Amino acid sequence: MSKNLTNLIRSYSSRQNYKSDLSKYDKQIFSGIQPTSIPHLGNYFGAIKQWVDMQNSLSKDQDTRPMIISIVDLHAITLPKDPRILNDYIYKCAATLVSCGIDPERNILYQQSQVAYHGQLSWILGCKVTMPQLGRMHQFKFKSDGLAEVPLGLYTYPVLQAADILLYRATHVPVGEDQLQHLELCRTIADKFNNTYSTNYFPSPIPLQGEFTRLKSLRDPSKKMSKSDADSNSRIELVDPPEIIEKKIKKAVTDSERLISYKPDKRPGLSTLIDLECAVTGQLPEEVAERCMLQAIDKSEYKKHVSKLLIEHLAPIQAKYKKLINDKKLLDDILDDGAKKANKIAEKNFHDICKIIGSR
């Protein structure tokens, strides 16, 4: 393994001790994002920016595989979606990723449904999973709670996710805390497949987790910032214009204290704003709070400061996005080229898998 890749993996190593012998596998990073709305700051700082950092580290090595990033539209339809809105968000998601710095020339950026092998492998892997295993998934319990009818796709979501990862024999997966359980199931499925067929074909992928603090909702800091939140004021989307950013930050829930301090437990709303500044500047929360105290900055001033930081940080991303989103042909070319590259890998691997299970 190259020095750059070794250092990269070490810097994003999971907080838990995942044991896997990956010495016999080519190192492959895979990640995915649902096209369910415009990515927000939580998606950007928690995932997309990390992908860009990984891309830039990997590109220094000539012998490393390109990172694979999938716009997972099949996952997006596990709950009802208007086809026109889904189609629109696929383009917007692709445009946003490229605008943030994902280079389709250096990575494989593609649309999940354009590689049919995902669904085919999902069926094979589903035969290695039990219903109790799927029923224990926290995400399933959360998303199915209160539904009169629970779609099968929501139940089997983690199996398709495992297929997404294992189809490319990914060894490392950037993943958020809320998806760790799914990755653990993926590891279990890979081990079960290998043991059943006396092979070591699938690696047991290791999660990559950065140190970034998960951003909270601007309206309810007891919850994470989420694309699925019905209140659009709870999040700042990457393409929000300056006046909307100012409005959302101004409306952000804080408390009755006037001055600034960083206390996530006692002052979660204000602490979320400090986390936003730290995400942009790389400072520690305590440093930000100390500066604000020394300068006697009050909440009103601080909200204006955070708004200005975010507007300046997002300006180049938004400028590139405006050009890309109006060039559907270029976006089609990017996704089609990515699908071609992904299919080439997937076809070979799926053929190997079919041989292993005896189908031909």
Task: Report the catalytic residues.
Answer: 143, 224, 227
Q: How many residues does the chain have?
A: 360
For 185, the enclosing helix (H) or strand (E) is: helix 180-196
Judged on CB neighbours under 10 Å (0-12, 13-18, 19+), 58 is: buried
- How many CB atoms are closer than 10 A to CB 203? 23
- How many CB atoms are closer than 10 A to CB 55? 18
Q: Do the beta carbons of residue 16 and residue 190 sit within 8 Å?
A: no
Closest CA to 174 of 236, 265, 107: 107
Q: Do the beta carbons of residue 226 and residue 234 sit within 8 Å?
A: yes
Kindly report the backbone phi and psi dihedral angles of residue 101, in degrees, each rounded to the nearest multiple of 5, phi listed first. 120, 0
Q: Do the beta carbons of residue 200 and residue 208 sit within 8 Å?
A: no
Whole-number Å distance between alpha carbons of 101 and 111: 18
DSSP 298: B
Whole-number Å distance between alpha carbons of 69 and 109: 5
Q: How far lies 129's CA from each of 169, 185, 204, 358, in Å? A: 19, 9, 16, 19
Whole-number Å distance between alpha carbons of 149 and 48: 33
